[in-house]
């Protein structure tokens, strides 16, 4: 106990150097745990984004491209699917439900999905959870809109507010559909998935805002007001993709084959689970690289601690000689130095953890709304415990080096210092 007390007092006596060493270890831990948190957050956001959907069907394209554009609204679909093809496939007796999706427009950088009520009934995320309304209800009329939680929170939208949809994706739009604004009728509860950053409108709404547009621009010779357009036939000609739920999952390969060999239109059906896993494996390499870099930062921090301790060794030979003279064995002196290393490492780790949690609290809303990464700000995972444990063990091992040096000096110096 006295050795621990002595170690603490000695560290306090060297506040500045010790604080710098603790700070360098804290930075390492912050980086290591921060990267780990973001990795877990990314993985969860990824794997939880869609659940209970057996197939995603779109125009012929790569599996990953279809998944990214449909679920994450990243990139564009290669082409559209005709409404006719969609209806044909949806009528397949092996299929339980479908959710049509029409993409391509945005609001303030958030993607707009044109869909129908089946979206709110059948879309599932995480562990087969259904969408729930935080406020209001699903769209009923052509120009009704349902907002994801982040969209509403960021712009402080409430039920009844009007929003204008831009043509195309991205924050900056050259053309908008300002002549046909949408009214917010519902706000969804947070899901921790890209749904939170999406505006949901009816397929008819998407058709209505584009009915007087030609080649991606407003038609100069034709214009329908919002009231006039309600009188028109708003059944869509094309959609971007659709989600499929089967009556029996054992038929998944058969249905996929049917769709992939569809004669009327070249289509691609992908299994979201498999494609997500493949995408995650690709990202895993980046994640490993990040972890390696963080690992090197941690090692650099620990080497900094070693340098700080070794620099102090010569200065402290007299102190050790005093302790030897009053009966301290070289092993106790070794214990004292090792104890100091442990204290520095543990303080560094504690500070690092505190900084990680603080930064997560600050960065959480930004990461969620800007990047769609949902972090779990509480609790320490098993993986993080391994990381912390490894750093503590490395800290102890590194502390052995100056401890051993002091031990050798204390044997050599005895009660007096010969330098």
Partner 1 sequence: MNNSIIQIQNLNFGWDKSKVPFITIPELEVLKSEHLLIKGDSGSGKTTFLNLISGVLPLSSGEIKILEKKLVDASSSQRDAIRANHMGVIFQMFNLIPYLSVIENVLIPIHFSEVKRNKIQTKGTTAKEEAIRLLSELGLQQKEIHEKKVTELSVGQQQRVAAARALIGSPEIILADEPTSALDEKNAMRFLDLLLEECKKNNSTLLYVSHDSRIQQRFQKSISINDFTETMQIIEKKGKEAVVCL
Applying CB under 8 A, the residues found at the interface with partner 1 are 2, 6, 9-10, 12-13, 318-319, 321-332, 414-416
Q: What is the closest distance, in whole angstroms, from the C-beta atom of residue 46 to partner 1 in the complex? A: 53
d(CA 307, CA 398): 10
Nearer to partner 1, 300 or 322 (CB): 322
d(CA 118, CA 101): 11
Q: What is the closest distance, in whole angstroms, from the C-beta atom of residue 316 to partner 1 in the complex? A: 10
Query: What stretches of 165-252 adopt beta strand conformation (E)?
Result: 166-167, 182-188, 198-202, 213-214, 217-218, 238-239, 241-246
- Specify which residues 417 forms β-bridges with: none
- Specify which residues 135 forms β-bridges with: 187
Nearer to partner 1, 140 or 329 (CB): 329
Residue 394, both tokens: 């490395």
Q: What is the closest distance, in whole angstroms, from the C-beta atom of residue 2 to partner 1 in the complex? A: 4
- Specify which residues 129 forms β-bridges with: 125
Nearer to partner 1, 108 or 319 (CB): 319
Report angle CA 132, 138, 140 to the nearest 5 degrees. 170
Radius of gyration of the chain (CA): 31
Give the CA count within 13 Å in the CB-facing half-sphere of 332.
15
Nearer to partner 1, 314 or 329 (CB): 329
* Alpha-carbon dihedral sign for residues 281, 283, 287, 293: positive
Q: What is the closest distance, in whole angstroms, from the C-beta atom of residue 321 to partner 1 in the complex? A: 7
Nearer to partner 1, 292 or 415 (CB): 415
> Which phi and psi angles does 387 have, rounded to 5°?
-60, -50
Nearer to partner 1, 2 or 172 (CB): 2
Helices 330-366 & 382-413, crossing angle to 10 degrees? 150
Nearer to partner 1, 161 or 319 (CB): 319
Give the CA count within 13 Å in the CB-facing half-sphere of 135.
15
Q: What is the closest distance, in whole angstroms, from the C-beta atom of residue 344 to partner 1 in the complex? A: 16
Q: What is the closest distance, in whole angstroms, from the C-beta atom of residue 360 to partner 1 in the complex? A: 37
Nearer to partner 1, 22 or 145 (CB): 22
d(CA 305, CA 18): 8
Work out whether strand 166-167 and strand 129-130 pair parallel, antiparallel, or are unpaired.
unpaired
Q: What is the closest distance, in whole angstroms, from the C-beta atom of residue 13 to partner 1 in the complex? A: 4
d(CA 285, CA 291): 10
Kindly provide the b/e burial profile for residues 116-155, where b requires at least 16 CB atoms within 10 angstroms of the residue's own CB.
bebbbebbbbeeebebeeebbebbeebbbbbbbbbbbbbe
Give the CA count within 13 Å in the CB-facing half-sphere of 201.
30
Q: What is the closest distance, in whole angstroms, from the C-beta atom of residue 314 to partner 1 in the complex? A: 16
Q: What are the C-alpha distances in Å from 230 to residues 211, 226, 227? A: 11, 7, 6
Nearer to partner 1, 91 or 326 (CB): 326
Residue listed under structure tokens 């028109």: 232
Q: What is the closest distance, in whole angstroms, from the C-beta atom of residue 311 to partner 1 in the complex? A: 17
Q: What is the closest distance, in whole angstroms, from the C-beta atom of residue 9 to partner 1 in the complex? A: 5
Give the CA count within 13 Å in the CB-facing half-sphere of 130.
8
Nearer to partner 1, 15 or 285 (CB): 15
Nearer to partner 1, 257 or 318 (CB): 318
Q: What is the closest distance, in whole angstroms, from the C-beta atom of residue 278 to partner 1 in the complex? A: 60
């Amino acid at each position: 106990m006295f050795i621990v007390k002595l170690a603490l007092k000695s560290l306090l006596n060297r506040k500045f150097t010790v604080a710098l060493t603790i700070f360098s270890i804290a930075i390492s831990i912050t980086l290591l745990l921060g990267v780990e948190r973001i990795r877990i957050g990314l993985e969860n956001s990824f794997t939880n984004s869609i659940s209970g959907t057996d197939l995603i069907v779109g125009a012929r394209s790569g599996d990953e491209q279809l998944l990214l554009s449909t679920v994450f609204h990243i990139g564009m679909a290669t082409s559209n699917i005709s409404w006719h093809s969609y209806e044909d496939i949806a009528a397949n007796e092996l299929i339980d439900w479908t959710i049509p999706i029409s993409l391509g427009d945005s609001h303030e950088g958030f993607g707009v999905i044109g869909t129908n009520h089946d979206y709110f009934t059948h879309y599932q995320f995480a562990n087969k959870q259904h969408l729930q309304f935080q406020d209001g209800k699903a769209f009923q009329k052509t120009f009704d809109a349902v907002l994801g939680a982040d969209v509403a929170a960021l712009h402080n939208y409430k039920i009844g507010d009007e929003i204008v949809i831009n043509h195309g994706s991205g924050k900056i739009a050259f053309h908008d559909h300002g002549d046909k604004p949408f009214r917010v009728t519902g706000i969804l509860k947070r899901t921790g998935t890209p749904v939170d950053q999406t505006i949901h409108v009816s397929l008819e709404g998407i058709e209505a805002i584009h009915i007087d547009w030609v080649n991606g621009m407003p038609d100069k010779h034709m214009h329908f007001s919002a009231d006039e357009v309600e009188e028109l036939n708003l059944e869509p000609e094309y959609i971007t993709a659709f989600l499929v739920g089967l009556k029996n999952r054992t038929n998944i390969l058969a249905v996929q084959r049917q769709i992939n060999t569809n004669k009327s239109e070249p289509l691609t059906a992908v299994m979201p689970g498999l494609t997500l896993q493949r995408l995650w494996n690709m990202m895993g390499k980046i994640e490993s690289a990040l972890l390696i870099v963080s690992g090197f930062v941690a090692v650099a921090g620990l080497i900094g601690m070693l340098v700080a301790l070794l620099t102090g060794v010569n200065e402290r030979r007299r102190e050790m000689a005093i302790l030897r003279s009053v009966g301290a064995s070289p092993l106790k002196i070794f214990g004292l130095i090792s104890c100091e290393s442990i204290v520095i490492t543990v303080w560094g780790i504690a500070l690092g953890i505190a900084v990680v949690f603080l930064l997560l609290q600050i960065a959480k809303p930004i990461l969620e709304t800007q990047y769609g990464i949902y972090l779990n700000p509480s609790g320490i995972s098993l993986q993080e415990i391994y990381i912390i444990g490894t750093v503590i063990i490395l800290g102890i091992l590194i502390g052995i080096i100056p401890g051993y040096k002091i031990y050798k000096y204390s044997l050599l110096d005895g009660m007096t210092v010969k330098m």
